[in-house]
A and B are shown apart, each in its own frame.
Chain A
Amino acid sequence: MILVFVDADELSAQAVGFARGLGDVRAVTFEGAYQPLAWAKALAAQEAEAIVAAGSDRGNELLAHVAALLDVPFAANVTAVDGDTVTRVRWGGSLLEEARLHGEPRILTVAPHTHPAADIGDVETLPAPDDGSPKVIASVEESSGGVSLRDAKVVVSGGRGVGSAEGFAIIEELAGLLGGAVGCSRVVTSAGWRPHADQVGQTGTKISADLYIACGISGATQHIAGAKGAKKILAINTDPEAPILASADYAVIGDLHEVVPAISAELKRVRG
């Protein structure tokens, strides 16, 4: 039997789909304030051949606790299982590792967006008594005025090529016209031009937009790790050899300081 921890999210539905390929699935969840260690103790107490969860913040955290409690290995962000061998994602998806997962039960999380979602079916709620370990004691709503980067349908993003904090005015204008969010690369946050909350990448936000417009971004693998969830990518870059072009569906070879305002102007013109 494969024990799967599920949340009410798309990634959990994908994890269930993946786990059905391993054996009979028993889907479980918890109620009340999130308390990682207490929940992990309840998971670790179940009989199972394998314990599986989504490769989400919560899934990875819970199963790391379970593996520590049982003193067995834990493979995070797995894309495939073949006998005792797993394939897992490293470097934000730029590299795959094949590894032998020793120990019982097998503990693994499923890499996001590598398997189709399944109908989760029946979900059992496990009891998890408060054990005094750290838990969520309050939740503060973010007072965000605009569209969130993670859920935006369009993200218009700027990189080193934008040149300054003020240079983002044209990026903001285009994002506004498209009802989208403004993003940026790590160079931009390190320079202090934009807050870290705007950063797209492996250590920033992983987006899931219909369209990502990357302006003056060369396209380091760490950046692509956050952008590749977009269905389509449009790159605007002066360099036809920029690595971002290998990930882009469309490209404009030109200076973003001219191209971006021209797109905004054309949008306004066609809308009358």
Chain B
Amino acid sequence: MVLAADAQALETRHLGFTISPHEECAVEEAVRIGGEVVVLTLGPAEAEEQLRDCMAIGADRGILLRTDGEEWDAQSTAAAIAEAIRDEGGFDLVLFGNESADAAGYQVGIRVAHVLGLPVVTGLKRIEVLDGTVRCERDVGGARDVYEAPLPAVLTVLEGLNLPRYPSVPGRLRAKSKPLAVVEPVRPAQGLEKLRLAVPEGQGKRAEILEDAAQVVDVLRRLGVA
């Protein structure tokens, strides 16, 4: 990982952007559940590409809460998302990834539920929409905890919930003409104010090279696992 000169972000000139794995599963699940699917993100203008990817696999329209590229903390991100959802109204389910791959704040979905006054269940790997309620399950090491919530509800999901499809070429073409609303929220003072990023002290090890199976088995015995 390489940091930008001001240590405020990663150097991304040579990187591509993608949806976090948990969110990808959230979009796939929404499309499978059916009904009108709206995808929403907060990010720079370039984030339209990820919203179009979601529309290519079946989302009907998108909302981009456009920023100037500066990062927003979880609290202000959640406030902006909650406001946008409240303006929309008329939804049954609001799905989030449990935590983002990059900032990993573990809180945006929960905060949105509080603002909207909705029940929330997090960390889900199974969702079943019933009549007026949703039954969902979370892995808790050797067991699955079962929850039930009335609709509308906020759910946060984990990768493994489903196997997301790849967008088809016709899907990509259709996505180009689907509606995308752009809103420009104002970035408030940051409660968790990022000062700088750092790459942790090098874990760069020099691996001991083993030449054959006999040497490997010696190591396995030394480690007490053979």
Q: Is the CB of A246 within 8 A of B203?
A: yes
Chain B residues with CB under 8 Å of A180's CB are 225
Chain A residues with CB under 8 Å of B207's CB are 235, 245, 248-251
Query: When A77-B104, A92-B101, A139-B143 are in contact, do A247 and B205 touch as well, CB less than 8 Å?
Result: yes
In the assembled complex, the CB of B98 is this many whole angstroms from the nearest CB of chain A, namely 9
Could you tell me the distance between the alpha carbons of A60 and B106 in the complex, rounded to whole angstroms? 6
Q: Is B148 an interface residue (CB 8 A)?
A: yes
In order of increasing CB-CB distance, the 3 nearest A-B pairs are A73-B191, A196-B160, A64-B107
Q: Is A211 an interface residue (CB 8 A)?
A: yes
Query: When A96-B200, A204-B160 are in contact, do A73 and B75 touch as well, CB less than 8 Å?
Result: yes
Could you tell me the distance between the alpha carbons of A29 and B149 in the complex, rounded to whole angstroms? 24
Interface of chain A, helix or strand or loop or mixed? mixed
Among A19-27, A163-171, A258-266, the stretch that binds chain B is: A258-266
Q: A99-B192, A135-B147, A251-B209 are in contact. List 5 more A-B contacts (CB 8 A).
A: A64-B106, A92-B101, A95-B198, A95-B200, A134-B153
In the assembled complex, the CB of B223 is this many whole angstroms from the nearest CB of chain A, namely 6
Which residue from A60, A148, A211, A250 sits with its C-beta under 8 Å from B142?
A148
The chain B residues found within 8 Å of chain A, CB to CB, are 1, 10, 21-22, 73-75, 78, 99, 101-107, 110-111, 113-115, 119-123, 137-138, 140-149, 153, 158-160, 163, 189-200, 203-205, 207-214, 216-217, 219-220, 223-226
Chain B residues with CB under 8 Å of A85's CB are 195
A-B pairs with beta carbons under 8 Å apart, 14 shown: A73-B192, A92-B101, A94-B199, A95-B10, A97-B198, A98-B196, A134-B121, A138-B146, A189-B163, A210-B224, A211-B220, A250-B207, A250-B216, A267-B217
Chain B residues with CB under 8 Å of A203's CB are 21-22, 101, 158-160
Q: Is the CB of A68 within 8 A of B107?
A: yes
Query: When A93-B200, A267-B220 are in contact, do A259 and B225 touch as well, CB less than 8 Å?
Result: no
Q: Is the CB of B137 within 8 A of A140?
A: yes
In the assembled complex, the CB of A56 is this many whole angstroms from the nearest CB of chain B, namely 10
Chain B residues with CB under 8 Å of A141's CB are 142-143
Which residue from B148, B204, B208 sits with its C-beta under 8 Å from A249?
B208
Could you tell me the distance between the alpha carbons of A137 and B158 in the complex, rounded to whole angstroms? 20
Q: Is A31 an interface residue (CB 8 A)?
A: no
Query: When A259-B213, A266-B217 are in contact, do A210 and B200 touch as well, CB less than 8 Å?
Result: no
In the assembled complex, the CB of B214 is this many whole angstroms from the nearest CB of chain A, namely 6
Residue of A nearest to B7 (CB): A98
Query: When A61-B110, A249-B207, A251-B207 are in contact, do A192 and B194 touch as well, CB less than 8 Å?
Result: no
The chain A residues found within 8 Å of chain B, CB to CB, are 34, 36-37, 57, 60-61, 64-65, 67-69, 72-77, 85, 89-103, 109, 133-142, 144, 148, 150, 153-154, 178, 180, 186, 189-190, 192, 196-197, 199, 202-204, 210-211, 221-222, 228, 232, 234-235, 245-253, 259, 262-263, 265-267, 270
Could you tell me the distance between the alpha carbons of A178 and B198 in the complex, rounded to whole angstroms? 38
Which residue from A100, A202, A262, A263 sits with its C-beta under 8 Å from B193?
A100
Chain B residues with CB under 8 Å of A67's CB are 75, 107, 111
Q: Is the CB of B102 within 8 A of A91?
A: yes
In the assembled complex, the CB of B196 is this many whole angstroms from the nearest CB of chain A, namely 5
Which residue from B78, B105, B148 sits with its C-beta under 8 Å from A76?
B105
Could you tell me the distance between the alpha carbons of A17 and B83 in the complex, rounded to whole angstroms? 39
Q: Is the CB of B223 within 8 A of A232?
A: yes
In the assembled complex, the CB of A195 is this many whole angstroms from the nearest CB of chain B, namely 8
Q: Is the CB of A136 within 8 A of B147?
A: yes
Query: When A203-B159, A251-B208 are in contact, do A210 and B223 touch as well, CB less than 8 Å?
Result: yes
In the assembled complex, the CB of A245 is this many whole angstroms from the nearest CB of chain B, namely 5
